[in-house]
Structure 1
Amino acid sequence: MARAYDGLDDDELDAEPETPWKMLLPMIINALMSIGVYLTTVRLIPKLRDKFIKANLFGIDMSKTTQDKVPEAIGVVCGCMFLITMFLFIPIPFSDTLTGGQFPHHEFVELIAALLSICCMLLLGFADDVLDLRWRHKLLLPTVASLPLLMVYYVNYNSTTIVVPKPFREYLGMTVNLGILYYVYMGMLAVFCTNAINILAGVNGLEVGQSIVIAASILLFNFVEVDAKTWTHQMSIYFMMPYIATSAALLKHNWYPSKVFVGDTFCYLSGMTFAVVGILGHFSKTTLLFFIPQVFNFLYSVPQLFHLVPCPRHRLPKFNSKTDKLEMSCTRFNVRDVGCVGRMILYLFRAFGLIKWHAKGDEVITNNFTLINLVLKLKGPTHEAKLTSILIGIQIACTCLAFAIRYPLAHHFYD
């Protein structure tokens, strides 16, 4: 019978305390394997570069004066090396029970299901890079890939009770059982994580850079919590160290001037990895705290994503070849073609200075609604490498804010 706990918060099932060495040895082995996979991946990517170009998996960097072919979807190399490392690591956490003792089937199934979901997402992401799927398919793919994860959660826990924040307990009580809505929430978390990284992209190194900061934040959080909570936080650490290692190898080649493009494959792989550790680790709200820039970028992009305001096919910043700098990209439309909701959003964005506004009669020119263009609006034309550094700096600053919310401020809402 499943014991109730707060799935949306960071409460977990009580686990038998482990000896420090039993906890530490698999982490040391995982760290050593991570170093090894970094050294392997950083050498493997240049060797596969020509093979991707030969297979017509390449693109042209629109923010450069050169028209060189840049291999696309190299994130699949990073993802494969990450999965290979995790497959080889599978026996390590359970080595003491393989020769005797009670085998922890629940923990083993969670690890396998997590790898299955990530593997599915890697496959589907690569299919998107090759077939250029439509947006409705991009929303469906993470949902399908998360099903093994949700099934294991149902079998192992099936707890959908959440603790109500203090200000609302007078009206809702101490706890609320969300039932099926909790599984809907977890499925939506997987969809959001994969697509949030994908829509905050377009400059060299940004997708990988923001993902490494998020992964490092999750890793640090789990190191802080691992003394009090055992298996779930250990498993998160096992996933994050090889992920950071392979991503760092990819970033070395994707940083300005980029020699490879990561593709949607890497964005999907990253988002599903973060969703997996957040769901199985029972710290999904904390995981979302590390996505503050992505949440803002999504909310800022909603008017164009849902076509409340006209949205061009590409919203990348505009490259000025004369100055070698990026400028905010703009969209032109007739204000009469925008509905009432769209006009209200435009008014609010103008009032808060979130968009450039140039009107001539009924024709309006505004910047595209992305965090990248907003930074360019506030700062002005910026070199691509510096722009990426600024955006990653914003990610790091938001991580510090997330930790402040998670620890000092959380006590005002939860016991």
Structure 2
Amino acid sequence: MTIVTNLNPNEKLLNENENSELQRKTWKQRVNGILILLQIALIGLMIILVVFNVYSEFTYQPETVSPDVVRIKGLFNEFVQKYGKKYDSPREKLRRFNIFYSNVLSYEEEERKNPELDLDVTEFADRTDEELKMILLAYENDSILEGTYPRKSENYQPIPNRPENHNWNEQGKVTAVKNQQQCGSCWAFATVAAVESGLAIKNGTLLSLSEQEMVDCDRSNNGCHGGVRAYAMRFVQKNGLVPEQTYPYTAEEDAQCHLKKDKNDSRIFINNYELLGKSEDQIADWVYSKGPVTFGMNVTRFLYYYRNGIFTPDPKDCTQNSLGSHAMTLVGYGKDANTGNLFWVVKNSWGQYWGENGFFKLARNVNACGMANNVVAAIL
């Protein structure tokens, strides 16, 4: 038996409205579900991209793969381990590898042009030229010294029969090579090295003296931002230098000088200082007869990668492509037995891992990168 119920118009309209509302809610739930699924998919895609990016950074290969890339990556890994390099992120490590890769290819090309010169990976190999400039000085201005410090060139008499080779380091009159680090204090290191050797030659005492004292206390100079060696000599003459262990090096400039007022605290003083003539023969005579002297030269980028050999910078690199000026100490001179080429023995302040245990040979009698322009000697 079928029962037919007749709905009045109002009841029919109410049912239709209820069905329509139910359909809207169902559709809304479906849309929300789809949006949630899209969000989950988007998050998953982002995670995949991040993982791929990190993986790519660890497995980077240059776009144009060089036959040397595996070798240079090996050098980079050795470099990181030897110098204890730490990078903030995989991206930074990749950036440093790119710089390292470019620097290695660059100095290897320079080696091919100069077979007698040996360049190699040093602690500077992952740095840009701009970063390398940070430990250099502004270019030396001859006029700063010319008017105030007359050159010791008048009445100069050459030393007859001066030996072809002389090295104060081999005679035990030079302290161990130090490292100025990321402080532009080469002017202090060069000055201290000359005074240390002068003291050893005079009385046989090989004593490491304080560079940090001059960085903090020599107000005529600019601490980690450069200085003038003649001003540094004047400071030593007036204030003296304390031992390194009394005032140790921090590679930072302290606004406060921590030097005691009492000058009876084992300080070493110099009697005077001289600005030598520009003749390299005269400079060699002084080094042979009196001891090491300070000098400054314009620096080319390949000096940072020096390992051994006679460094003979291109004159164009010394002027147009120089990164800045650097102060060091001449501790000897010599003549190459095979080639007959003359050289200086230079003590640097870039640590004992650099060069020949911190020293290098610089071409002599060619005024390499202006090295003979401002040679300042201490007189003890």
TM range (shorter): under 0.3
Alignment TM-score, normalising by the size of structure 2: 0.21
Larger radius of gyration: 2
Alignment TM-score, normalising by the size of structure 1: 0.20
Q: Which has the higher contact order (CA 8 A, sep 6+)?
A: 1
Structure with greater proportional helix content: 1
